Protein backbone atom coordinates (compact mmCIF):
# COMPACT_ATOMS: atom_id res chain seq x y z
CA UNK A 1 0.00 0.00 0.00
CA UNK A 2 1.37 3.41 -0.88
CA UNK A 3 -0.17 6.81 -0.51
CA UNK A 4 0.34 10.35 -1.64
CA UNK A 5 -0.84 13.47 0.15
CA UNK A 6 -1.22 16.80 -1.63
CA UNK A 7 -1.54 19.53 0.99
CA UNK A 8 -2.00 23.28 1.29
CA UNK A 9 -3.93 23.37 -1.99
CA UNK A 10 -5.00 26.95 -2.70
CA UNK A 11 -8.06 25.80 -4.69
CA UNK A 12 -9.27 22.25 -5.11
CA UNK A 13 -11.52 22.13 -8.17
CA UNK A 14 -14.12 19.55 -9.22
CA UNK A 15 -14.00 17.56 -5.97
CA UNK A 16 -17.46 16.14 -5.39
CA UNK A 17 -19.17 14.27 -2.59
CA UNK A 18 -22.07 13.29 -4.82
CA UNK A 19 -21.02 11.96 -8.18
CA UNK A 20 -22.52 13.58 -11.27
CA UNK A 21 -22.29 11.98 -14.70
CA UNK A 22 -22.20 15.22 -16.72
CA UNK A 23 -23.17 18.88 -16.50
CA UNK A 24 -25.36 20.75 -18.95
CA UNK A 25 -26.50 24.29 -19.62
CA UNK A 26 -26.45 26.56 -16.57
CA UNK A 27 -24.87 23.85 -14.40
CA UNK A 28 -21.76 24.17 -16.53
CA UNK A 29 -20.88 27.47 -14.88
CA UNK A 30 -20.95 25.82 -11.43
CA UNK A 31 -17.86 23.98 -10.33
CA UNK A 32 -17.15 22.52 -6.89
CA UNK A 33 -14.33 24.53 -5.29
CA UNK A 34 -12.63 24.12 -1.88
CA UNK A 35 -9.99 26.53 -0.69
CA UNK A 36 -7.06 25.57 1.56
CA UNK A 37 -7.58 21.89 0.96
CA UNK A 38 -5.87 18.50 0.76
CA UNK A 39 -6.25 15.36 -1.32
CA UNK A 40 -5.15 11.93 -0.17
CA UNK A 41 -4.46 9.27 -2.78
CA UNK A 42 -4.10 5.59 -1.94
CA UNK A 43 -3.22 2.82 -4.37
CA UNK A 44 -3.86 5.06 -7.33
CA UNK A 45 -7.32 6.19 -6.25
CA UNK A 46 -8.76 9.14 -4.34
CA UNK A 47 -9.00 8.11 -0.71
CA UNK A 48 -10.09 11.40 0.84
CA UNK A 49 -10.15 15.17 0.35
CA UNK A 50 -11.25 18.13 2.39
CA UNK A 51 -10.21 21.22 4.20
CA UNK A 52 -6.66 21.53 5.61
CA UNK A 53 -8.20 21.56 9.11
CA UNK A 54 -8.82 17.82 8.65
CA UNK A 55 -5.66 16.98 6.75
CA UNK A 56 -3.91 13.70 7.68
CA UNK A 57 -0.55 14.20 9.35
CA UNK A 58 1.54 11.71 7.47
CA UNK A 59 1.81 9.95 4.11
CA UNK A 60 4.49 8.02 2.18
CA UNK A 61 4.83 10.94 -0.20
CA UNK A 62 3.79 14.53 0.49
CA UNK A 63 3.45 17.33 -2.06
CA UNK A 64 3.00 20.92 -1.03
CA UNK A 65 0.62 22.78 -3.34
CA UNK A 66 0.76 26.21 -1.72
CA UNK A 67 -0.72 28.84 -4.04
CA UNK A 68 -1.61 26.20 -6.62
CA UNK A 69 -4.81 24.78 -8.02
CA UNK A 70 -5.50 21.05 -8.13
CA UNK A 71 -8.04 19.69 -10.57
CA UNK A 72 -8.84 16.42 -12.34
CA UNK A 73 -6.71 15.60 -15.37
CA UNK A 74 -8.18 16.46 -18.79
CA UNK A 75 -10.32 13.91 -20.58
CA UNK A 76 -9.52 14.39 -24.28
CA UNK A 77 -12.31 12.56 -26.09
CA UNK A 78 -11.25 13.21 -29.71
CA UNK A 79 -7.75 12.66 -31.14
CA UNK A 80 -5.95 11.13 -34.10
CA UNK A 81 -2.50 10.67 -32.51
CA UNK A 82 -1.50 7.70 -34.66
CA UNK A 83 0.00 9.16 -37.85
CA UNK A 84 3.17 8.70 -39.88
CA UNK A 85 4.18 12.24 -40.73
CA UNK A 86 3.35 15.88 -40.19
CA UNK A 87 1.72 17.94 -42.97
CA UNK A 88 3.76 21.10 -42.65
CA UNK A 89 3.73 21.64 -46.42
CA UNK A 90 -0.06 21.88 -46.42
CA UNK A 91 0.10 24.38 -43.58
CA UNK A 92 2.24 26.59 -45.80
CA UNK A 93 -0.10 25.98 -48.78
CA UNK A 94 -2.97 27.25 -46.65
CA UNK A 95 -0.99 30.32 -45.62
CA UNK A 96 -0.49 30.94 -49.33
CA UNK A 97 -4.24 30.85 -49.89
CA UNK A 98 -5.45 27.31 -50.52
CA UNK A 99 -8.33 26.06 -48.39
CA UNK A 100 -8.44 22.79 -46.42
CA UNK A 101 -11.05 21.53 -48.90
CA UNK A 102 -9.00 22.53 -51.96
CA UNK A 103 -5.98 20.67 -50.56
CA UNK A 104 -8.16 17.62 -49.92
CA UNK A 105 -9.65 17.73 -53.43
CA UNK A 106 -6.22 17.47 -55.04
CA UNK A 107 -5.37 14.35 -53.06
CA UNK A 108 -3.71 16.06 -50.11
CA UNK A 109 -5.14 16.14 -46.61
CA UNK A 110 -6.33 12.84 -45.20
CA UNK A 111 -5.25 10.99 -48.38
CA UNK A 112 -1.75 12.44 -47.99
CA UNK A 113 -1.63 11.10 -44.43
CA UNK A 114 -2.96 7.73 -45.63
CA UNK A 115 -0.26 7.32 -48.29
CA UNK A 116 2.40 7.91 -45.66
CA UNK A 117 0.82 5.71 -43.05
CA UNK A 118 0.39 2.81 -45.45
CA UNK A 119 4.19 2.71 -45.84
CA UNK A 120 4.98 2.93 -42.13
CA UNK A 121 5.52 -0.08 -39.89
CA UNK A 122 3.47 -0.77 -36.80
CA UNK A 123 6.59 -0.14 -34.69
CA UNK A 124 7.25 3.25 -36.28
CA UNK A 125 3.64 4.29 -35.80
CA UNK A 126 3.66 3.15 -32.20
CA UNK A 127 6.81 5.08 -31.45
CA UNK A 128 5.33 8.31 -32.83
CA UNK A 129 2.00 7.87 -31.07
CA UNK A 130 3.71 6.94 -27.79
CA UNK A 131 5.74 10.16 -27.92
CA UNK A 132 2.57 12.19 -28.50
CA UNK A 133 0.84 10.42 -25.64
CA UNK A 134 3.73 11.29 -23.29
CA UNK A 135 3.61 14.87 -24.48
CA UNK A 136 -0.11 15.31 -23.85
CA UNK A 137 0.14 13.61 -20.46
CA UNK A 138 2.77 16.16 -19.48
CA UNK A 139 0.19 18.87 -20.32
CA UNK A 140 -2.36 17.20 -18.06
CA UNK A 141 -4.28 14.73 -20.20
CA UNK A 142 -5.40 11.81 -18.07
CA UNK A 143 -7.75 9.93 -20.43
CA UNK A 144 -7.81 9.91 -24.22
CA UNK A 145 -9.66 8.62 -27.26
CA UNK A 146 -7.69 7.73 -30.41
CA UNK A 147 -9.08 7.19 -33.92
CA UNK A 148 -7.98 5.20 -36.94
CA UNK A 149 -8.78 6.67 -40.35
CA UNK A 150 -5.39 7.25 -41.94
CA UNK A 151 -5.26 3.64 -43.15
CA UNK A 152 -8.20 3.55 -45.58
CA UNK A 153 -7.36 -0.03 -46.60
CA UNK A 154 -8.30 -3.09 -44.59
CA UNK A 155 -4.68 -3.86 -43.69
CA UNK A 156 -3.71 -0.30 -42.80
CA UNK A 157 -6.83 0.36 -40.73
CA UNK A 158 -6.08 -2.85 -38.78
CA UNK A 159 -2.45 -1.75 -38.46
CA UNK A 160 -3.52 1.59 -36.96
CA UNK A 161 -5.94 -0.03 -34.55
CA UNK A 162 -3.29 -2.51 -33.43
CA UNK A 163 -1.12 0.46 -32.59
CA UNK A 164 -4.01 1.88 -30.56
CA UNK A 165 -4.38 -1.51 -28.84
CA UNK A 166 -0.71 -1.39 -27.90
CA UNK A 167 -1.21 2.14 -26.55
CA UNK A 168 -4.09 0.79 -24.44
CA UNK A 169 -1.89 -1.99 -23.08
CA UNK A 170 1.09 0.18 -22.23
CA UNK A 171 -0.48 3.49 -21.30
CA UNK A 172 -1.03 4.37 -17.64
CA UNK A 173 -4.05 6.46 -18.72
CA UNK A 174 -7.19 4.93 -20.29
CA UNK A 175 -7.30 4.88 -24.08
CA UNK A 176 -10.51 4.43 -26.09
CA UNK A 177 -10.25 3.23 -29.70
CA UNK A 178 -12.43 4.48 -32.53
CA UNK A 179 -12.66 2.93 -35.99
CA UNK A 180 -12.74 5.72 -38.61
CA UNK A 181 -12.44 3.77 -41.88
CA UNK A 182 -14.97 6.30 -43.26
CA UNK A 183 -12.58 9.24 -42.94
CA UNK A 184 -12.25 9.91 -46.69
CA UNK A 185 -12.92 8.16 -50.00
CA UNK A 186 -9.57 6.84 -51.31
CA UNK A 187 -8.55 8.06 -54.81
CA UNK A 188 -9.01 4.65 -56.40
CA UNK A 189 -12.67 4.64 -55.26
CA UNK A 190 -13.50 8.20 -56.38
CA UNK A 191 -15.63 6.96 -59.25
CA UNK A 192 -17.13 4.14 -57.19
CA UNK A 193 -17.77 5.37 -53.63
CA UNK A 194 -20.23 2.56 -53.15
CA UNK A 195 -17.41 0.02 -53.45
CA UNK A 196 -15.49 1.70 -50.63
CA UNK A 197 -18.57 1.85 -48.40
CA UNK A 198 -19.12 -1.85 -49.08
CA UNK A 199 -15.50 -2.53 -48.13
CA UNK A 200 -16.02 -0.72 -44.83
CA UNK A 201 -19.27 -2.49 -44.04
CA UNK A 202 -18.50 -5.96 -45.36
CA UNK A 203 -14.79 -6.33 -44.66
CA UNK A 204 -13.37 -3.72 -42.33
CA UNK A 205 -16.07 -3.64 -39.64
CA UNK A 206 -16.24 -7.43 -39.23
CA UNK A 207 -12.44 -7.69 -38.83
CA UNK A 208 -12.14 -4.64 -36.58
CA UNK A 209 -14.97 -5.78 -34.33
CA UNK A 210 -14.02 -9.46 -34.60
CA UNK A 211 -10.55 -8.69 -33.26
CA UNK A 212 -11.99 -6.40 -30.59
CA UNK A 213 -9.95 -3.49 -31.90
CA UNK A 214 -12.45 -0.67 -31.45
CA UNK A 215 -14.85 0.77 -28.90
CA UNK A 216 -16.58 3.20 -31.27
CA UNK A 217 -17.37 3.75 -34.95
CA UNK A 218 -16.79 7.16 -36.54
CA UNK A 219 -17.61 8.71 -39.94
CA UNK A 220 -16.51 12.07 -41.36
CA UNK A 221 -20.00 13.21 -42.38
CA UNK A 222 -19.38 16.45 -44.24
CA UNK A 223 -19.21 18.33 -47.52
CA UNK A 224 -16.88 16.44 -49.88
CA UNK A 225 -16.63 13.42 -47.56
CA UNK A 226 -19.52 11.14 -46.52
CA UNK A 227 -23.20 12.04 -46.94
CA UNK A 228 -25.71 11.68 -44.07
CA UNK A 229 -27.25 8.68 -45.86
CA UNK A 230 -23.87 6.95 -46.22
CA UNK A 231 -23.06 7.84 -42.62
CA UNK A 232 -26.26 6.27 -41.36
CA UNK A 233 -25.58 3.03 -43.26
CA UNK A 234 -22.06 2.77 -41.87
CA UNK A 235 -23.14 3.58 -38.31
CA UNK A 236 -25.98 1.05 -38.50
CA UNK A 237 -23.46 -1.57 -39.57
CA UNK A 238 -21.21 -0.51 -36.68
CA UNK A 239 -24.07 -0.94 -34.20
CA UNK A 240 -24.57 -4.50 -35.48
CA UNK A 241 -21.00 -5.19 -34.37
CA UNK A 242 -21.57 -3.51 -31.03
CA UNK A 243 -19.75 -0.29 -31.90
CA UNK A 244 -21.48 2.87 -30.74
CA UNK A 245 -21.15 5.95 -32.97
CA UNK A 246 -19.07 9.05 -32.30
CA UNK A 247 -18.91 11.13 -35.46
CA UNK A 248 -17.32 14.10 -37.22
CA UNK A 249 -20.05 16.50 -38.33
CA UNK A 250 -20.62 20.06 -39.56
CA UNK A 251 -16.96 21.08 -39.80
CA UNK A 252 -17.27 22.28 -43.39
CA UNK A 253 -20.96 23.09 -43.73
CA UNK A 254 -24.54 22.62 -42.60
CA UNK A 255 -24.67 19.14 -44.05
CA UNK A 256 -27.11 17.22 -41.87
CA UNK A 257 -24.31 15.44 -40.02
CA UNK A 258 -25.60 16.38 -36.57
CA UNK A 259 -29.05 15.02 -37.41
CA UNK A 260 -27.52 11.81 -38.80
CA UNK A 261 -25.53 11.32 -35.59
CA UNK A 262 -28.58 11.94 -33.41
CA UNK A 263 -30.69 9.56 -35.51
CA UNK A 264 -28.04 6.91 -34.90
CA UNK A 265 -27.93 7.62 -31.12
CA UNK A 266 -24.31 8.74 -31.35
CA UNK A 267 -22.49 9.25 -28.04
CA UNK A 268 -21.19 12.50 -29.46
CA UNK A 269 -21.18 14.61 -32.62
CA UNK A 270 -17.87 16.42 -32.92
CA UNK A 271 -16.71 19.71 -34.56
CA UNK A 272 -20.02 21.59 -35.16
CA UNK A 273 -18.32 24.74 -36.44
CA UNK A 274 -21.39 25.08 -38.68
CA UNK A 275 -24.38 24.81 -36.36
CA UNK A 276 -27.74 26.52 -36.65
CA UNK A 277 -30.74 26.69 -34.32
CA UNK A 278 -32.09 23.57 -36.00
CA UNK A 279 -29.08 21.48 -34.90
CA UNK A 280 -29.19 22.95 -31.39
CA UNK A 281 -32.87 22.10 -31.10
CA UNK A 282 -32.24 18.57 -32.34
CA UNK A 283 -29.40 18.12 -29.83
CA UNK A 284 -31.69 19.28 -27.02
CA UNK A 285 -34.07 16.42 -27.81
CA UNK A 286 -31.28 13.83 -27.71
CA UNK A 287 -28.64 12.26 -25.47
CA UNK A 288 -25.91 13.01 -28.01
CA UNK A 289 -23.10 15.24 -26.73
CA UNK A 290 -21.86 18.22 -28.77
CA UNK A 291 -18.04 18.04 -28.73
CA UNK A 292 -16.23 21.20 -29.78
CA UNK A 293 -12.67 21.31 -31.10
CA UNK A 294 -11.58 24.96 -31.07
CA UNK A 295 -7.95 24.04 -31.86
CA UNK A 296 -9.16 23.01 -35.31
CA UNK A 297 -11.13 26.22 -35.91
CA UNK A 298 -8.07 28.18 -34.77
CA UNK A 299 -5.62 26.32 -37.00
CA UNK A 300 -7.82 26.17 -40.12
CA UNK A 301 -9.21 29.68 -39.71
CA UNK A 302 -12.80 28.49 -39.86
CA UNK A 303 -15.62 29.75 -37.59
CA UNK A 304 -15.61 28.71 -33.96
CA UNK A 305 -18.58 26.56 -32.94
CA UNK A 306 -21.38 28.52 -31.21
CA UNK A 307 -20.60 27.21 -27.71
CA UNK A 308 -22.40 30.10 -26.01
CA UNK A 309 -25.70 29.43 -27.78
CA UNK A 310 -25.36 25.73 -27.06
CA UNK A 311 -24.83 26.24 -23.33
CA UNK A 312 -27.57 28.88 -23.17
CA UNK A 313 -29.86 26.33 -24.79
CA UNK A 314 -29.07 23.88 -21.98
CA UNK A 315 -26.65 21.56 -23.80
CA UNK A 316 -23.75 19.64 -22.18
CA UNK A 317 -20.80 20.91 -24.20
CA UNK A 318 -17.59 18.86 -24.39
CA UNK A 319 -14.13 20.17 -25.33
CA UNK A 320 -11.38 18.08 -26.96
CA UNK A 321 -8.21 18.71 -28.96
CA UNK A 322 -8.66 16.80 -32.25
CA UNK A 323 -4.83 16.35 -32.19
CA UNK A 324 -4.03 15.33 -35.81
CA UNK A 325 -1.50 16.27 -38.51
CA UNK A 326 -3.94 18.18 -40.73
CA UNK A 327 -6.40 20.34 -38.86
CA UNK A 328 -4.93 20.57 -35.36
CA UNK A 329 -1.33 19.48 -34.87
CA UNK A 330 -1.48 20.06 -31.12
CA UNK A 331 -2.77 18.07 -28.18
CA UNK A 332 -2.52 20.97 -25.77
CA UNK A 333 -5.69 20.93 -23.66
CA UNK A 334 -4.81 24.09 -21.71
CA UNK A 335 -4.63 25.95 -25.02
CA UNK A 336 -8.01 24.47 -26.07
CA UNK A 337 -9.45 25.82 -22.81
CA UNK A 338 -7.94 29.25 -23.50
CA UNK A 339 -9.50 29.23 -26.99
CA UNK A 340 -12.86 28.13 -25.57
CA UNK A 341 -12.84 31.11 -23.20
CA UNK A 342 -11.30 33.75 -25.47
CA UNK A 343 -12.95 32.75 -28.75
CA UNK A 344 -16.17 30.98 -27.81
CA UNK A 345 -17.09 33.01 -24.75
CA UNK A 346 -17.12 30.06 -22.43
CA UNK A 347 -16.56 30.88 -18.76
CA UNK A 348 -13.47 29.26 -17.22
CA UNK A 349 -15.74 27.02 -15.10
CA UNK A 350 -17.67 25.96 -18.21
CA UNK A 351 -14.50 25.17 -20.11
CA UNK A 352 -13.05 23.13 -17.23
CA UNK A 353 -16.30 21.18 -16.87
CA UNK A 354 -16.32 20.55 -20.63
CA UNK A 355 -12.72 19.30 -20.59
CA UNK A 356 -13.02 17.06 -17.52
CA UNK A 357 -16.37 15.61 -16.49
CA UNK A 358 -18.13 16.04 -19.85
CA UNK A 359 -15.04 14.78 -21.69
CA UNK A 360 -15.07 11.66 -19.52
CA UNK A 361 -18.77 11.17 -20.35
CA UNK A 362 -17.98 11.40 -24.07
CA UNK A 363 -15.70 8.36 -23.59
CA UNK A 364 -18.07 6.61 -21.14
CA UNK A 365 -15.41 6.95 -18.44
CA UNK A 366 -17.30 9.27 -16.10
CA UNK A 367 -17.62 6.67 -13.32
CA UNK A 368 -13.84 6.50 -12.90
CA UNK A 369 -12.44 9.77 -14.29
CA UNK A 370 -13.32 13.40 -14.86
CA UNK A 371 -13.80 14.57 -11.26
CA UNK A 372 -12.12 14.16 -7.89
CA UNK A 373 -14.34 11.81 -5.91
CA UNK A 374 -13.54 9.16 -3.33
CA UNK A 375 -12.86 5.91 -5.19
CA UNK A 376 -12.18 7.48 -8.58
CA UNK A 377 -8.79 7.07 -10.26
CA UNK A 378 -6.30 9.70 -9.06
CA UNK A 379 -5.40 11.42 -12.33
CA UNK A 380 -4.74 14.99 -11.26
CA UNK A 381 -3.26 18.28 -12.36
CA UNK A 382 -1.32 20.63 -10.11
CA UNK A 383 -1.03 24.07 -11.68
CA UNK A 384 1.69 26.62 -11.21
CA UNK A 385 0.83 29.24 -8.57
CA UNK A 386 -2.26 31.21 -9.62
CA UNK A 387 -4.90 33.32 -7.97
CA UNK A 388 -8.08 31.98 -9.47
CA UNK A 389 -9.35 29.38 -11.89
CA UNK A 390 -9.43 32.03 -14.60
CA UNK A 391 -5.61 32.13 -14.40
CA UNK A 392 -5.57 28.88 -16.34
CA UNK A 393 -7.20 30.02 -19.61
CA UNK A 394 -5.86 33.55 -19.07
CA UNK A 395 -2.18 32.58 -19.40
CA UNK A 396 -2.68 31.12 -22.90
CA UNK A 397 0.34 29.35 -24.33
CA UNK A 398 2.18 29.40 -21.00
CA UNK A 399 3.10 26.33 -19.05
CA UNK A 400 0.24 26.46 -16.55
CA UNK A 401 0.35 22.76 -15.67
CA UNK A 402 3.24 22.23 -13.29
CA UNK A 403 2.79 18.61 -12.20
CA UNK A 404 0.60 15.75 -13.32
CA UNK A 405 -0.39 12.76 -11.22
CA UNK A 406 -1.47 9.57 -12.98
CA UNK A 407 -2.85 6.72 -10.86
CA UNK A 408 -1.26 8.37 -7.88
CA UNK A 409 2.21 8.66 -9.47
CA UNK A 410 3.89 11.85 -10.62
CA UNK A 411 4.36 11.87 -14.41
O1 LIG B 1 -11.14 16.04 -37.12
N2 LIG B 1 -12.31 16.36 -40.09
C3 LIG B 1 -11.84 15.26 -40.24
N4 LIG B 1 -10.82 14.70 -39.63
C5 LIG B 1 -9.82 15.38 -38.89
C6 LIG B 1 -8.77 15.98 -39.73
C7 LIG B 1 -8.14 15.05 -40.61
C8 LIG B 1 -6.95 15.55 -41.32
O9 LIG B 1 -6.96 16.62 -41.93
O10 LIG B 1 -5.98 14.81 -41.28
C11 LIG B 1 -10.48 16.42 -38.04
O12 LIG B 1 -10.31 17.63 -38.27
FE1 LIG C 1 -11.06 14.67 -35.80
CA dist 55 and 277 (Å) reads 49
* Site to substitute for ligand 1 among 147, 253, 326, most atoms within 8 A of C-beta: 326
**Which ligand 1 atom sits closest to the C-alpha of 328?**
12
Q: Residues 216-255: pLDDT tens digits? A: 999 999 999 999 999 999 999 999 999 999 999 999 999 9
Ligand 1 centroid to 166 CA: how many Å? 23
Give, as one character, the DSSP assignment of residue 199: I
Ligand 2 centroid to 127 CA: how many Å? 21
CATH 2.30.40.10 fits 3-73+370-410, yes or no: yes
Query: How many of the other CB atoms lie within 10 Å of CB of 375?
Result: 10
Q: What is the CATH number of domain 75-361?
A: 3.20.20.140
- pLDDT band for position 93 (50/70/90)? very high
Name residues contacting ligand 1 (CB within 6 A): 109-110, 113, 220, 248, 251, 296, 322, 324-327
Q: Residue 191: CB partners within 8 Å, gap ≥ 6?
A: none
Q: Residues 99-154: pLDDT tens digits? A: 999 999 989 999 999 999 999 999 999 999 999 999 999 999 999 999 999 999 99
**Which ligand 1 atom sits closest to the C-alpha of 296?**
12
Question: Could you list which residues have their CB under 5 Å from ion ligand 2?
Answer: 322
Give domain limits for the chain: 3-73+370-410, 75-361
- pLDDT band for position 58 (50/70/90)? very high
Q: Which residue owns the Cα nearest ligand 1 atom 1?
A: 322
C-alpha distance from residue 100 to each of 116, 297, 321, 330, 337 (Å)? 18, 11, 18, 17, 24
91 backbone dihedrals φ, ψ, rounded to 5° = -60, -45
259 backbone dihedrals φ, ψ, rounded to 5° = -65, -40
DSSP string, 340-375: HHHHH---HHHHHHHHTHHHHHTTT-TTTSSSB-TT
Q: Residues 164-198: pLDDT tens digits? A: 999 999 999 999 999 999 999 999 999 999 999 99
Amino acid sequence: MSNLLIRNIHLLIQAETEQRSLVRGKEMSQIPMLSNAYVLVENGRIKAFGSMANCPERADQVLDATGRIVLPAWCDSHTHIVFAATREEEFVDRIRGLSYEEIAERGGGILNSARKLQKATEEELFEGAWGRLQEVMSMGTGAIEVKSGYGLTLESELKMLRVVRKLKEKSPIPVKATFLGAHAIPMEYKSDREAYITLIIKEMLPRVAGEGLADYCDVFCDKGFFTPEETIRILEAGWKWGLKPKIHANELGLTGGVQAGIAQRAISVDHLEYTSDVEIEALKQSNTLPTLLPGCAFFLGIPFAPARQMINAGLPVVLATDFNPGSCPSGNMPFVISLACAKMNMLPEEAINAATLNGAKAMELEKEYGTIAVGKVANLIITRPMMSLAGLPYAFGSKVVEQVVVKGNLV
